[in-house]
Homo-oligomer: A and B are copies of this chain.
Amino acid sequence: MDKKIKVGILGAGRIGKLHAENVAYRIPMMEIKTIADPYMNEGMEAWARGIGVDNVTKDPQEVFGDPEIDAVLICSSTDTHAEFIMKAAEAGKHIFCEKPVDHDVDQINRALKAVEVAGVKLQIGFVRRFDHNHKKVRDMVQGGKIGAPHTIKITSRDPEPPPIEYVKVSGGLFFDMMIHDFDMARYLSGSEVVEVYAKAAVLIDPAIGEAGDVDTAVVTLQFANGAIGIIDNSRSSTYGYDQRVEVHGSKGCVQDFNDLPSTTILTTKEGVLGDPPKWFFLERYNEAFAEELIAFADAINGDKEPVVNGADGLKPVLIAEAANISLREGRPVRLDEL
């Protein structure tokens, strides 16, 4: 085994804790040196000790300034991402950053520039690329199993809406939720999006509309290679995390289905009853969250370009922006208009 990569974790909210526990229990080639969170408190400290991390702080500088730390995992709020990327890059640390990098394209470009100058690795947390099902779809498309891609369909529906407080600061459905699907569209098609048409509505909770957002959306994508894409999103499936993709091509179709908690079915007069899909992203992408950090470690240890790099962080933001304009103006929007 290569030398263990020492990481500092920035942000110990839900996603930060998830990554920390993965590093602690499932990723032997990494170890946590420090966890920094502005809201660090006793509970968080106890949790950190429980996973074997004694070094906790409110000050991110203790991470950036620590020469022992090889890499940072940026799991803090979106508005800090670009700044932390720049600081980490300047400190010569490899960077894993949660999505989205930022909502502002110029800010993203500044961050990517800093990474380029520093020559460090930057991987963006588009975790779905590491899902066993989606990855196999992509591999089959790449392997020519369906010929040239014609239609890419992505279904992505959350089990239940986030709190309204979250909705208000989320950047909106396209930036917060569909951003993953924009990445998936690029990943599956092997092509770039050139035009976006967005249709959306408030059907689940009027409060979401009052907060200036939508909760149900359908987006049509035109790809550079001629293929057409469709994404449908909902903030509330009610039954669990509905995550399916489908690629139709000149020689056939490849698709995947939801993972289920069990394969067990009960057959009675009422019908055949099976499990609903796994509840949410923590359950569905549980393995994928570990896989993405393993890939990050591999990129560092093998001095390779991360499989989801800075450009992959930028592109979905542009698509989300085009979707917002499309929705506002009721017309298809070309990315080269931006």
Contact = CB atoms under 8 A, between A and B. Distances in A.
A44 interface: no
Given A133-B264, A227-B203, A332-B330, A269 B216 contact: no
B268 A251 contact: yes
Contacts of A234: 150-151, 248
Contacts of A256: 262-265
A250 interface: yes
Contact of A25 (B28, B199, B228, B270): B28
A234 B251 CA distance: 12
A254 B265 contact: yes
Nearest to A232: B151
A1 to B, nearest CB: 6
Given A271-B274, A271-B276, A266 B146 contact: yes
B272 A276 contact: yes
Question: Which applies to chain A's interface (DSSP): helix, strand, loop or mixed?
Answer: mixed
Contacts of A238: 250-252, 268-269
Contacts of A51: 28
Interface in A134-158: 135-137, 140, 145-146, 148, 150-151, 153, 155, 157
A271 B157 CA distance: 16
B254 A132 contact: no
Contacts of A257: 263, 265
Contacts of A259: 263
Given A146-B266, A267-B253, A199 B218 contact: no
A285 interface: no
A133 B155 CA distance: 21
A267 B250 contact: no
A226 B254 contact: no
A328 interface: no
Interface of A: 1, 25-26, 28, 50-51, 132-133, 135-137, 140, 145-146, 148, 150-151, 153, 155, 157, 197, 199-201, 203-204, 216-218, 220, 222, 226-228, 230, 232, 234, 236-240, 242, 248, 250-259, 261-277, 330-332
16 contacts: A25-B26, A145-B268, A150-B201, A150-B216, A151-B216, A151-B234, A201-B227, A203-B227, A238-B269, A253-B266, A253-B267, A254-B265, A255-B264, A256-B263, A257-B263, A257-B265
Given A1-B50, A239-B267, A254-B267, 15 more contacts: A26-B26, A150-B203, A151-B216, A151-B234, A157-B248, A197-B220, A203-B227, A237-B253, A239-B269, A252-B268, A253-B268, A254-B266, A256-B262, A257-B263, A330-B332
